[in-house]
Amino acid sequence: PCALVISIPLSFFGGIGGASRCGILIKGGNYLEALANTSIAVFDKTGTLTKGVFAVSQVSPANGCTEKELLEQAALAESFSSHPISKSLREACGELDARRATDAQEIAGHGVRTMVDGHVVLAGNARMMDDSKITYTKNTGTGTVVYVARDGQFLGSVLIADEVKEHSKQAIAALKAQGVRTIMLTGDSEAVASEISGQLGLDEYHAGLLPGDKVDQIETLLAAKQPKENLAFVGDGINDAPVLSRADVGIAMGALGSDAAIEAADVVLMDDDPAKIALAMRIARRTLRIVYQNIVFALAIKFACLVLGALGLASMWTAIFADVGVMVLAVLNATRALYTKDLAKKNAQ
């Protein structure tokens, strides 16, 4: 029936168009349908639930090193990196002569190894110190800890704090209200992950993960979910691209997210607002409801017309209504998917 052929694609187009008005880019009707059936939402932490704007909150020198020297060595070691943590170190240190640093090597999930003034400087997490057999003093502060060592000698640690996004708590609450299970995956320490999880009310979290560990966690969650359930992963960094591709629905932050993450994702939030995830799901579910309404309405009228025709009770006008009339009504119903103001208002509340 033409009512189905026209109205069903139009409903999906309307849903995608309505979402784009709200700053949500959905790359196809199949992803809209997958989003409607999502029951598990997995989040990266930095840049997704938090602002990704780091600031140095504590400097803890060791072995006769001064605070200024510790910050300087950390900032020079990180001078080639574009990571938000690296930027915060450079900002805290002030003026730097980047020519003092050479041969920088970024070690994924660990930190950086850089030649500074002819010395080997390591700046990274506890895992990097352990792998390099460096004795260090553990920093138990809440935040991201950067341990610094020079020529195998521990210089101290720098504590860097990140802020939770304004709408992150609202986003988690809105998802849980829709029956979605919320999980956070992060490479940060257990203390940081526990505090962020408690602030936001997440159902579950996993800390201290390397990029490959995140893929393993997603594989475990995918294997444990029900056949008709979908899993969405929300991330923004280049390391999140493999996980975004592996999830049933990959959702990327479009404003500050990396190009690799945006390319790999199925849905892009153009303003980096995590509260838009619940809105996207509402739009997707209403779009599917409209699709099902059109299917039931069109087929019911067709079958009713066939029965009336078999009984000799159907006129030409009945047949015209069952064909053209139903098509017009189904199309008008499909256009409802374009209007999302009511859903956006409900999501804001």
Tens of pLDDT, residues 226-243: 888 999 999 887 778 889
Is residue 160 very low, low, confident or very high in pLDDT (cuts 50, 70, 90)? confident
CA distance 52 to 201: 19
* Residue 347 pLDDT: 65
Strand arrangement of the beta sheet that strand 267-269 belongs to: 24-26, 267-269, 249-253, 230-235, 38-44, 181-185, 204-206
CA–CA separation, 108 and 141 (whole Å): 23
Nearest-angstrom CA–CA distance, 71 and 17: 49
Say what the pLDDT of residue 260 is.
82
Strands (E), the chain: 24-26, 38-44, 55-61, 101-107, 111-116, 119-124, 144-150, 153-161, 181-185, 204-206, 230-235, 249-253, 267-269
Largest CA distance in the chain: 101
Supply the pTM of this predicted model.
Answer: 0.76
Closest CA to 179 of 145, 229, 220, 132: 229
The confidence score (pLDDT) of residue 210 equals 83
Point out the catalytic residue in the list 44, 188, 248, 273.
Answer: 44
Question: Could you confirm whether 44 is annotated as catalytic?
Answer: yes
pLDDT at 306: 87
Residue 257, pLDDT score: 67
**Mean pLDDT of all residues in the chain?**
88
Q: What does the pLDDT average to over 157-174?
A: 89
Q: CA angle, corner 135, sides to 128 and 63, nearest 5?
A: 115
* Separation of alpha carbons 210 and 328, rounded Å: 54
